[in-house]
Every structure is written in C-alpha cells, then in structure tokens.
C-alpha cells in the first residue's frame, strides 16, 4: 500500500525518522516537479500511440518550432 502524507515541515522530520526505523516501511521523498514530469511524459507517449493508430493528427516539427 502506498500513502501520501501532508505534514508540516517542522513535524515531518520526526515522523520520517520513526518510519525509517521500521523494517517494513520504505520512505521515498515526494517531488511534485518530478511527478508532473512523469505525468507529462506518460501523456506524450499516449498521444504518440494515438497518432500511430491514426486517431490523432500530429503537427509537423517545423510548425512546432515556429510556435516557439
């Protein structure tokens, strides 16, 4: 089971130490930016699959570069 806890910074240090001391608990720091990047990559892969299946139209790379 995975849990996401929202704890005040000044209290989190103590709880993390307790959780780390338990042999059956893995503590993995949460990084919101990394999570967002993973979600965006997953969305891009899903879009690519739709393009390959002919269900979505892709823009030419030159068009994308011109938007920048």
Instruction: Indicate the domain borders of the chain.
Output: 9-67
pLDDT in the model for residue 46: 94
Q: What distance in Å separates the CA atoms of residue 25 and residue 67, rounded to the nearest whole number?
A: 47
| 8 Å CB contact between 15 and 7 | yes
Could you report the per-residue pLDDT of 5-33, keeping only the tens digit for each?
A: 888 888 888 888 999 999 999 988 778 88
Could you report the per-residue pLDDT of 24-58, keeping only the tens digit for each?
A: 999 887 788 888 898 899 999 999 999 999 999 88
Q: What distance in Å separates the CA atoms of residue 47 and residue 53, rounded to the nearest whole number?
A: 10
| 8 Å CB contact between 56 and 47 | yes
């Amino acid at each position: 089971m995975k849990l996401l806890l929202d704890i005040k910074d000044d209290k989190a240090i103590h709880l993390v130490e307790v959780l780390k001391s338990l042999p059956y608990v893995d503590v993995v720091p949460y990084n919101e930016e990394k999570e967002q990047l993973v979600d965006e990559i997953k969305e891009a892969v899903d879009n690519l699959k739709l393009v390959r299946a002919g269900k979505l139209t892709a823009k030419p790379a030159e068009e994308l570069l011109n938007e920048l």
